[in-house]
Amino acid sequence: MAGTTQRKREVFPSKDELSVALAKYTANLSAKFCKEKGFFTVVLSGGGLIDWLCKLLEPPYIDSVEWSKWHVFWVDERVCSYEDPDSNYKLAMDGFLSKVGIPNENIYAIDKHYSADGDAENCAMLYEECLRKLVKQNILPLCTYGKYQYPQFDLQLLGMGPDGHMASLFPGHPQIHVIDKWVTYITDSPKPPPKRITFTLPVINSALYNLMAVCDDHTEQCPRSIAEIFKHNNLALPAANLTAQVEEMWYLDQAAASLL
């Protein structure tokens, strides 16, 4: 089913207030899905997001969230070794995942060897294979979207770059049009590093809940992209193509929303 949700947004005076709301949103969905089906599938991105998730590491969430029932994925990943400061896996492990009790086998990172070798194509292929195994194990249901089926996650936590990219789907690059794969790759990303893997747009839009968090660090481009999306629905910006099966929510700080 194609996502038909309405784009919702909330604007927060500061990053700190956005972080509080982000923790609450995530913890509420975690409780809902753990109660309903016994586990919670959550997809992370890189960038500022991991830092903004820090309130989950504080009471009441650190003790109340059922961390052992989480399954964690990445919407995109930089193709480099796990130790590289560019790695989204390292960013999330160091800043968040190592501080909560998620079983290691529930953390689905990019392939260790191909990523260290810089082999983006095989990393994408193996990540898709990993998702297909989880479909067989009934961890991920399938969602029909257009003429294909895609894995369906409970919650995706996304970020947007100032140019309007989300995941590693960049404006003017062909990856945004890929529909016959679940995971694809790019070797000339305009945001460094150049080699990355990324979920395709229909996988992103098959998620039940998509939360896009955007805080602006005083760039001129970010508020302009937000205005293009909310006022003109300019689909040339990849993030304007975001939808979800149940809820598409945008959390913006005041700076990012300054042109709305």
Phi, psi (deg, nearest 5) at residue 45: -120, -175
Residue of 5, 9, 32, 48 that binds ligand 6PG (CB under 6 A) = 48
- Choose between 3 and 161: whose C-beta lies nearer to ligand 6PG: 161
- Choose between 128 and 163: whose C-beta lies nearer to ligand 6PG: 163
Q: Find the length of the chain.
A: 260
Cβ–Cβ under 8 Å, residues 111 and 164: no
Residue of 120, 167, 201, 255 that binds ligand 6PG (CB under 6 A) = 167
- Choose between 34 and 88: whose C-beta lies nearer to ligand 6PG: 88
Closest CA to 55 of 26, 87, 14: 26
Q: Count the helix, strand and coil residues of the chain and give each as a percent rounded to the nearest 5.
A: 40, 20, 40
Residue of 30, 45, 184, 210 that binds ligand 6PG (CB under 6 A) = 45
Question: Rounded to an integer, what distance in angstroms lies between the CA atom of residue 38 and that of residue 174?
Answer: 38
Between strands 7-12 and 247-253, the pairing is parallel
Site string for ligand 6PG, 177-206 (x = CB under 6 A): --------------x---------------
Least separation in angstroms between CB 116 and ligand 6PG: 17
Question: Rounded to an integer, what distance in angstroms lies between the CA atom of residue 84 and that of residue 13?
Answer: 34
Least separation in angstroms between CB 87 and ligand 6PG: 9
- Choose between 3 and 47: whose C-beta lies nearer to ligand 6PG: 47
Site string for ligand 6PG, 113-152 (x = CB under 6 A): ----------------------------------------
DSSP state, residue 82: T
Residue type, 226: I
Neighbours of 41 (CB within 10 A): 25
Residue type, 118: G
Site string for ligand 6PG, 83-102 (x = CB under 6 A): -----x--------------
Q: Which residues bind ligand 6PG (CB under 6 A)?
A: 45-49, 76, 78, 88, 159-161, 165-167, 191
